[in-house]
Amino acid sequence: MFLKSSFWILASIMVFDLGLVSATGKAQTPQVQRQMPLQLPKLNFPDGKSVVEIPFEVEGNWMVIPVSINGSRPLRFVLDTGAQGTVLQNPEIADSLNLKITGKMAVRGAGGAGAGREASIADNVTFNIGGIELSNGRLVVSPASSDSRTMATHDGVIGRTVFATLVVEVDWEKRTVRFYEPSKYKYTGTGTILPLTFDEGGRPYTSASVAVADDKLIPVKLVVDTGGSHVLSLDVGSKPEIRLPEGATKTILGRGVGGEITGYTGQVKTFQLGGQTLENVSAIFPDSSSGITGIGGRQGSLGAGVLRRFKIIYDYSRERMIVEPNKFFNEPFGTAILNKDTTSLQVSAAALQDYVGKYGNKEISVKDGALYYQRIGGRGAALRATGKDKFALNADAQITFVRDANGVVSEMLIDWVGRDKEQLKREPPSSNQPNNLSP
């Protein structure tokens, strides 16, 4: 799993994830013992149904769906093919879920060995998704963290528990997920069928081709990672032909509880998947600090920045995924690498107040005389003015504020390096909204 600004969000669940977090994507979560056996739940559909459709929210290329645990209110879970099981990242609500704790497991942090901690294991858990009941399941409860950067904005992550039990159809155009009973599912579309293979943790792999620096296509084996908000991740040296492209920039890709994960950002010339060709594709190249380079014979991972350009049916029961290009297919990838030497502009304190407010899961404030960006519950950074209503977020993104017909700021556009842009509407101000946030 990759994610940059939110690298730490999943820093407690790498027990199930061989992913990583990118500078523009998701954090690599701490890793638990990989050989823990997976307990798949018992499946029950609502009476008379063999398919259920639910909407999903989109946050930073994550798909967030409602999941109830043991009859609880709907909780917010990231739907993630890269996760081996189901993890509760919000330990504060664990006591309200009637969990039966049956064991513990050690976890360590990404980005280094990290301090040893323990996660709790609950068995005989019942999950409910849109009326589909998955009973006799297993849930890992992430240990609490004193580090505010590891506070999750979601309640958890659900992965193989769903994908290995159901046929899952993800439609990014409609922002819906359809869950089918595998024995009654039959595909009748015109998409391309791609074989899937699985590692010992149940993570799916598919084959693709990439031209890094020239026109020569290199076959690659990639983890399919819906929980990774990056576009494409490649492990340099996993094949002799896979090397850093010209102009690649050294950067911090993310941070795990064990320390920083570093690597490079750049573009690959061509990427092919399912007979479809994408040009000038943003990519990240994690270095050895990730601790996952080349695991399982892989050459990297395929994140949501590519996957969202298709309607995809994940059919683990038949060891396949089916891809159909959608309206997002030809959208350009993230902005070019930002130039840190771009001239900075001075903006008056009064003018900065125009931008202050809440935009989805982001908040803009004024701190120490500068505009300050912060993902709610996460780390923040000062912004640097580069033009009218334009600001740079370090070398990671270009932020543009959009004004309505009355000249009032109404939206924020975040054009990420190596990740699809975000468009966030400004919420009406509240009387108790803070103007200054702590990092």
The 3-class secondary structure across 122-177, one letter per residue, is: EEEEEEEECCEEEEEEEEEECCCCCCHHHCCCCCEEECHHHHCCCEEEEECCCCEE
Distance CA 303, CA 61 (A): 9
State the Cα angle at 35 between 31 and 40, rounded to 5°. Answer: 100
Signed CA dihedral, 70, 71, 77, 81: sign only = positive
Same domain, 132 and 166: yes
Structural domain tally of the chain? 3
pLDDT at 113 over 80: no
Q: Residue 395's domain is classified under what CATH number?
A: 2.40.128.50
pLDDT (tens digit per residue) in 47-83: 989 999 999 988 777 899 999 999 999 999 999 998 8
Give the bridge partners for 108, in sequence order.
31
Q: Alpha-carbon distance 271 to 232, whole Å?
A: 9
- Which of the four pLDDT bands, split at 50, 70 and 90, describes residue 224? very high
Q: Are residues 44 and 166 in the same domain?
A: yes
In 317-408, alpha helices (H): 349-352
Co-location of 53 and 166 in the same domain: yes
pLDDT at 28 over 50: no
* pLDDT score at 145: 63
Please report whether residue 198 resides in a domain. Answer: yes
Model confidence at 30: pLDDT above 80: no
Q: Let me know whether 317 and 354 are in one domain.
A: no
Tell whether 289 and 266 lie within a shared domain.
yes
Claim to verify: residue 209 and residue 172 sit in the same structural domain:
no
How many Å apart are CA 261 and CA 189, to the nearest integer? 41
pLDDT for residue 259: 60
Residue 252's pLDDT band (boundaries 50, 70, 90)?
confident
> Sorting pLDDT into bands at 50, 70 and 90, what band is 421?
confident
Question: Does 199 map to a domain?
Answer: yes
- Of these ranges, 55-59, 172-176, 238-242, the one predicted with the greatest mean pLDDT is 172-176
Boundary residue ending a domain (155, 184, 213): 184
How confident is residue 248, by pLDDT bands cut at 50, 70 and 90?
confident
Output the pLDDT for position 192.
Answer: 97
Decide if 414 is inside a domain: yes
For residue 409, the model assigns a pLDDT of 95
Within this chain, do residues 225 and 129 fall inside the same structural domain, yes or no?
no
Q: Per the structure block, which two tokens stand in for 28?
A: 């690599």
What CATH number is attached to the domain comprising 121? 2.40.70.10
Residue 268: per-residue pLDDT? 92
| 215 and 148 share one domain | no
In this structure, are residues 421 and 415 in contact, taking their beta carbons and an 8 Å threshold? Answer: yes
Domain annotation covers residue 119: yes
DSSP 8-class letter at 353: G
Among 65-74, 242-251, 356-365, 397-406, name the one with the lowest average pLDDT: 242-251
Average pLDDT over residues 11-33: 36
Is residue 338 situated within a structural domain?
Answer: no
Residue 18 pLDDT > 50: no
Q: How many other β-carbons are positioned within 10 Å of the β-carbon of residue 103?
A: 13
Residue with tokens 């891809």: 323
* Buried-exposed string 289-301: b where 16+ CB fall within 10 A, e elsewhere: bbbbbeeeebbbb
CA 249 to chain centre: 22
User: What is d(CA 389, CA 292) in angstroms, rounded to the nearest whole number?
Assistant: 40
Which whole number is the average pLDDT over 352-379?
89
Q: In the chain, what percentage of residues exceed pLDDT 70?
A: 77
Residue 435 maps to a domain: no
Q: Tokens at residue 369, please? A: 């005389």
Where are the strands (E) in 146-305, listed by range? Answer: 156-158, 167-171, 176-180, 192-195, 197-198, 204-211, 218-224, 232-234, 249-256, 259-273, 276-286, 300-302
Domain that holds residue 243: 192-325
Answer yes or no: is pLDDT of 20 > 90. no
In a domain, 50, yes or no: yes
174-177's contacts with Cβ under 8 Å and 24+ in sequence apart are 175/55, 175/56, 175/57, 175/58, 176/53, 176/54, 176/55, 176/56, 177/53, 177/54, 177/55, 177/56, 177/63, 177/65, 177/79
- The reply to whether 54 and 202 lie within a common domain is no
Helix (H, G, I), strand (E, B) or coil at 14: helix
Does residue 176 sit in the same domain as residue 198? no
Query: Among candidates 227, 229, 248, which has minimal Cα distance to 24?
Result: 229
Query: Considering the chain, what is the average pLDDT of its residues?
Result: 81
Amino acid occupying residue 369:
G
Is the confidence at residue 210, as pLDDT, over 90? yes
Residue 436 pLDDT greater than 50, yes or no = no
Contact 106, 118 (CB under 8 A): yes
Condensed to tens digits (0 to 9), the pLDDT of residues 277-301 reads 999 898 999 887 666 666 768 999 9
pLDDT over threshold 90, residue 247: no
Does residue 278 contact residue 185 with C-beta atoms inside 8 Å? Answer: no
**Residue 94, SS3?**
helix
Higher pLDDT, 7 or 92: 92
Mean predicted confidence (pLDDT) in 249-264: 71
Q: Are residues 259 and 317 in the same domain?
A: yes
Average pLDDT over residues 189-217: 92
Assigned domain for 344 exists? no
38 secondary structure, DSSP code: P
Whether the pLDDT of residue 365 is over 90: the answer is: yes
Which of 158, 184, 210 is the last residue in one of the domains? Answer: 184
Which one, of 224, 115, 152, lies nearest residue 6 by Cα? 152
Q: Which of 147, 162, 184 is the last residue of a domain?
A: 184
Residue with tokens 């076959």: 219
Identify the weakest region by mean pLDDT among 104-118, 120-134, 336-350: 104-118
Q: Specify whether 139 is located in the same domain as 19.
A: yes
Residue with tokens 């996760």, as numbered in its chain: 83
Q: How confident is the model at residue 230 (pLDDT cuts 50, 70, 90)?
A: confident
Q: What are phi and psi of 209, to 5 degrees?
A: -135, 145
Specify the length of the chain in residues.
Answer: 439
Confidence (pLDDT) at 32: 37
| pLDDT over 70 (residue 274) | yes
- Answer yes or no: are the C-beta atoms of 281 and 300 closer than 8 Å: no
Dump pLDDT digits (tens) for 321-340: 999 999 999 888 765 545 44
In the prediction, which pLDDT does 255 show? 58
